[in-house]
Amino acid sequence: MNKPLVLFLTWLLPGLGHWVLGARRRAGLYAGVILVSLAAGIAMQGRLYGPVRGDFIAWLATVANGGLGVLYFLLKGLVGYGGDPAHPLSEYGTIFILSAGLMNWLLLLETEELFKEKRA
């Protein structure tokens, strides 16, 4: 399996790249942490960002949320999830959702290291 495909799979679904490379326990652990963080954020009605013309922070947050891969597109496009800013825990939920996306971006780096170890 080639590296770009493994990295794409890691981005697509948290833990999938590790699963393909044979690190099944790590894949489950990473997927669990990211999915629990995302679920907690949704339960707290956190905001799921999308791009807003002229709003640089919204663009940065969209990139962070984009780390969720297919989950972002399912939530944003298919389900139409956006969160509820009036909810008392919304700010905390937003941080959980952003953290989940950023963790998966970091997981790409860890997957690349694992790929190098498997090839060595």
The pLDDT of residue 63 is 96
Q: What is the pLDDT of residue 120?
A: 65
| Distance of alpha carbon 96 from alpha carbon 46, whole angstroms | 8
Residue spans per domain, the chain: 3-119
What pLDDT digit, counting tens, does each position of 74-88 carry?
998 888 888 899 999
Tokens of 67: 């780390």
pTM reported for the whole predicted model: 0.91
Q: Give CA 95 to chain center in angstroms.
A: 12
Looking at residue 67, its pLDDT comes to 95
Dig out the tokens for 14 from the structure: 């948290």
Give the length of the chain. 120
Over residues 34-52, the pLDDT tens digits come to 999 999 999 999 999 989 9
| Per-residue confidence in pLDDT tens, the chain, 120 aa | 899 999 999 999 999 999 999 999 999 999 999 999 999 999 999 999 989 999 999 999 999 999 999 999 999 888 888 889 999 999 999 999 999 999 999 999 999 999 988 886
